[in-house]
Amino acid sequence: MKRFVFLLMVCLPMLALPVRAEPIKWVDFDVSYESMKYALEQDIATFDQEKHISWIDILALAACRTGGKCGLSSVRQATQDLKQDKSPEELLGDLYKYYNYYHQAYSAALGGLVGSYAIEKNGQWEAAYGLKAFSPIGAGYGYRHCDDFGVGRSFGFQRKHLGNDLMGSLGTPIVAVEGGVVEALGWNRYGGWRVGIRSFDGKRYYYYAHLQKDTPFAPGLAEGDMVQAGDLIGFMGRSGYSDTENVNNIETVHLHFGMELIFDESQKECNSEIWIDVYQIVRLLSSHRSSLQKGSDGWVRMYPYQDLDLEDFQPKIT
């Protein structure tokens, strides 16, 4: 009897502990530019209204109904439905069981791209809400790209292309899409000179590869540095495919841009990493470019920027 009581005293508290949900292991991001753009516009339009409709909520609702395809018509319908006084659970019925997955997945992929920010113009900070992430290509520089995610690669071993190649001119300024911490900087036999930046919320790892030979990085950039969205981080090149540093073995000048989603630290640098197709995201970001200017003292941003969703910055807003 004493043994039974002892086991009961030990086991009951354990049963009361919350069960840790398994992290998401795969995300098939299949949301079109048109659907993201429409959802973003609705998010911005309702920001100051009593019922702010998040683009993540819109896309998650549409995804539950379409198996993740999120066609524009389904996104429009989801927007209209969310404007009613009903919860996603009421709107979806049995399909609600998928809502948490899609909401987590889209929050991880898109969560840092929209929010409040401020730009300094003529010595005054001006606040805004909207797309706060930037195209990886600096303003005024052309590029071309196509949806090449998953295309075969053979250097080193047979594998799939886990990013989007943006073809441009040698030395084109490359900027941080989102603010974060520089986790990797240096040579990689596949990516050549590359920069890896982890978003401040830890959910996104941005990979910028094949940077320019000899002068690949923004002056002074180092591992551990914090960068703002739109900050200069390097210059487009064609380095890589070599065990020897500073070698141009890539035929075409381009930026390899990739995004890895991290739901648990065990997913970082392993055989089950979650890389998503960023082609449509790059299309969305093309409307928001960071303006940089090279002067006698080096490169500077024409419009200094701060992310207002970060608690450690409180500029004087006009």
Whether 48 has a pLDDT exceeding 80, the answer reads: yes
Confirm if 189 and 308 have CB atoms less than 8 A apart. no
Model confidence pLDDT, tens digit, residues 209-262: 999 999 999 999 999 999 999 999 999 999 999 999 999 999 999 999 999 999
Residues of the chain with CATH 2.70.70.10: 132-307
For the chain, first and last CA: distance in Å?
A: 73
Task: Categorize the per-residue pLDDT at 22 as very low, low, confident or very high, splitting at 50, 70 and 90.
Answer: confident
Q: Are 165 and 148 in contact (CB under 8 A)?
A: yes
Q: Can you say how many angstroms the Cα of residue 212 is from the centroid of all Cα atoms in its chain?
A: 23
- 72-83 tens-digit pLDDT: 999 999 999 999
CA-CA distances (angstroms) from residue 260 to 97, 157, 169, 250, 312?
25, 20, 26, 23, 26
132-307 classified as CATH 3.90.226.10: no
**What dihedral angle (degrees, nearest 10) is formed by the CA atoms of 162, 164, 166, 167?**
60
DSSP 171: T
- % pLDDT > 90, the chain: 80
Distance, in Å, from the CA atom of 37 to the CA atom of 178, rounded to the nearest integer, reads: 18
266 pLDDT tier (thresholds 50, 70, 90): confident
Least confident of 41-50, 68-77, 151-160, 231-240: 151-160
